[in-house]
Structure 1
Amino acid sequence: MANILVIDDNHDICLLLKRYLEKKKYSVSTAHSGKDGLLLFKNSKFDLVLCDFRLPDFDGIQLINALKKQRPACEVIVITGYSDVKMAVQVMKRGAFEYVTKPIHPEEILHSIQSALAHKSKNDKGTSSAKSKNKKIEQAFVIGKSIKADRIQKLIELVAPTAMTVVITGQSGTGKEVTAKTIHSKSTRAKERLIAVDCGAIPKEIAGSVLFGHVKGAFTGALTDKVGHFEAAHKGTLFLDEIGNLSYENQIKLLRVLQERKIQRIGENKSRPIDVRIIAATNEDLKQKVENGEFREDLYYRLTEFSIELSPLNERKEDLMLFADHLLTRASQELNKTVNKFDPEVVKIFQSYNWPGNLRELKNVIKRATLLSTTDTIKKDTIPLEIQHFNLKVTESSERNSLKLIVEKAEKKAIIKVLKETNFNKSKTAQRLEIDRKTLYNKMKLYGILTESK
């Protein structure tokens, strides 16, 4: 259950948010001033803060700075009035995740909260000192030491300083977002914001508003202007994860932005110039979606100025224990443990497992094992049984296949022997083998037995 702190001098708003979010299974605390909010924040662990932009004793920038100074990993969503939109964008650049405008709409605030918490769970970097260590850990996902890892690193170094749009492909859990962050960190935009958007998590009905913003009165419930992610990422980088899930209508809008380098808020007649570098990612075959009519061909070619394909973990076994060591360091930091190595038997298990969930699965397995460990070493008994027994299943499957080959070899030999004894008379051969003629023909075809018809 996520812990949320609401800071607003309006008691009714605090009460409204508390009741609504608790129904959604969140734990909610409230404060009516910046001072009280910071005191609560200091004494309790919160995953997210919802704070009013204008408080009696703090403004939004001051409060964001104070919150981030205490706990950089905590996400902050700013609540603003009609006249604070421009300033709210500046606050987002200072570290806030999102802002919502008053009057508050439950669906909008819930979507923002869910997005912020999802972002936090992916990018929790702890304290500022842990940030530096974790950055090295995240880089290791990309670097590695295999030939494939070296190729990926060279591609990143090549494309990062350019303004080219990049598409990162690969199975779920292979490190696409980490790769996008690395490209951004090595680009000329590194000092600006990187905004990550999960296209698959945005409801189709509000995707246009989330990406491009809207103006007051654009649709039912649009009571104020709203800045979209493109505007918020101006001068920086916008990471569009799972781009293949974007609706056809919004694909058209995205294509227009890429072509014209301008955005138009929903319900607005004028265009706004935008300077955003696009990095997209997908675990789907976009080319196939184009052929199926599910993804625009012109958008596909606009996005794929440069492509980077990430290999699954089972094809990067040389990098596996490097990743595992870094993830173990991170898990130990997060859990305040002193676990720092793997038992040789665990290494053997890891190397033989196929890791269908890739780096994400490896991370979860190691974090669980770290929590269960009572010594400084990850032992076999802390590893899930399905991973421990994977080798046994593979062996059993191999044995079944070997037995099948033995049977097939013996069957082929018997058919050839009887065919020769009957002078290749198929009817007599079928009778001798106690099978029908059609079955005999099928088996002869299967085993590649060629004879004259008889």
Structure 2
Amino acid sequence: MNVLIIEDDDDICQLYSIWLEENRHDYIIAKNYEDGILEYVKSIQQGDEGYESDNNIFDLVVLDYDLPSKDMSSNQNGLHIAKEILELKGDQRIMFASAWPKKAFVEYVSTLKSVPEVLPKPFEKEEFINLAEKINLYDIAKKFTKQLREMKNPNSPDVDIKSLESLFKLMNNARREFLQKDNDKSDDVDFIE
């Protein structure tokens, strides 16, 4: 698996590095909005130039919700990066690792008419790796995204918030159910806050 992590916290980046290396996944870490987009565009361009696509195209993009810009003068909402990525590759798998999961989820769905995977912080290594490696929830998200995009008025910025909250609960319940099936807890105590 090839993962792009866009996260500005050094400690969290170090945990991602350790966890992904332990599980033999390739990854690139970008610490701001501009570098994240640059890495993603490079992966698309290398794939277009005929390089081995398995090593260049990202299977998963993990975003923090709040990200600094390169000059550190302003924070960018992770939605901006998600929007740019989806414009480049409409079916890209995106996971928000966020302390504000409901806010990220609702804004993402209402803005981009797409359903992200959301991993609430804090989370443990097993939860992150299990969710990253399994595509069950991604398949559910793709199904709901298709339904959202087939709405009668896809240009309407208004999306029923109660429906989004129900969808968010459904995704969270599916995530919990999925994780309980693979709940072989080890003695590792690393987690992200």
TM range (shorter): 0.5 to 0.7
Q: CA RMSD in A?
A: 4.0
- Structure 1 ranges of 4+ moved more than 3 A: 115-120, 180-188, 190-202
Residues 9-24 of structure 1 mapped to structure 2, 5 A cutoff: 9-24=8-23
Structure 1 unaligned segments of length 5 or more: list them: 124-176, 207-220, 225-454
TM-score normalised over the length of structure 1:
0.28
> Counting strand residues as a fraction of each chain, which structure ranks higher?
2
Shift of 1:105: 1.2
TM score, norm. by length of structure 2:
0.60
SS of 2:123's partner is: coil
Aligned length: 151
1:15 and 1:100 map into 2 onto residues whose CA distance is: 18
**For residues 78 and 91 of structure 1, do their structure 2 counterparts lie closer, same or farther at Cα, with a shift above 3 Å needed?**
farther
SS at match of 1:203: helix
**CA deviation after TM superposition for structure 1 residue 109, in Å:** 1.1
Aligned match for 1:65, one of 67, 75, 83: 83
* Distance (whole Å) between structure 1 residues aligned to residue 63 and residue 151 of structure 2: 32
Could you say which residue in structure 1 is the equivalent of 2:49?
Answer: none
Contact preservation (8 Å) 1:9, 1:31: yes
* Cα pair distance change 1:19/1:182, threshold 3 Å: closer
Indicate if the aligned counterparts of 2:117 and 2:137 stay in contact, CA closer than 8 A: no
Amino acid at match of 1:88: A
What are the superposed Cα offsets for residues 165-190 of structure 1, whole Å, 9 maximum, x if unpaired?
xxxxxxxxxxxx8xx999998888x9
Higher RCO (CA 8 Å, separation ≥ 6 residues):
2
1:85 Cα offset (Å): 3.4
Which runs of 5 or more residues in structure 2 are unaligned? 44-56, 70-75, 184-189
Q: Which has the larger radius of gyration?
A: 1
Letter matched to residue 23 of structure 1: E
Change (3 A) 1:117 1:39: farther
Cα distance in 2, alignment partners of residues 4 and 117 from structure 1: 17
1:27-106 to structure 2, matched below 5 A, reads 27-44=26-43, 45-57=57-69, 58-81=76-99, 84-93=100-109, 94=112, 95-106=114-125
Kindly indicate whether residue 170 of structure 2 is the aligned counterpart of residue 203 of structure 1: no
Judged with a 3 Å threshold, the aligned counterparts in structure 2 of structure 1 residues 69 and 107 are, in CA distance, closer, same or farther, namely: same
Q: Could you list the per-position Cα deviations for residues 266-318 of structure 1 after superposition, in whole angstroms to 9, with x for gaps in the alignment?
A: xxxxxxxxxxxxxxxxxxxxxxxxxxxxxxxxxxxxxxxxxxxxxxxxxxxxx
Contact 1:80/1:88 (8 A) holds in 2: yes
Is the partner of 2:66 in helix, strand or coil? Answer: coil
Pairing of 1:295-306 with structure 2 (within 5 A): none
Q: Using the alignment, how far apart are the partners of 2:85 and 2:149 within structure 1?
A: 24
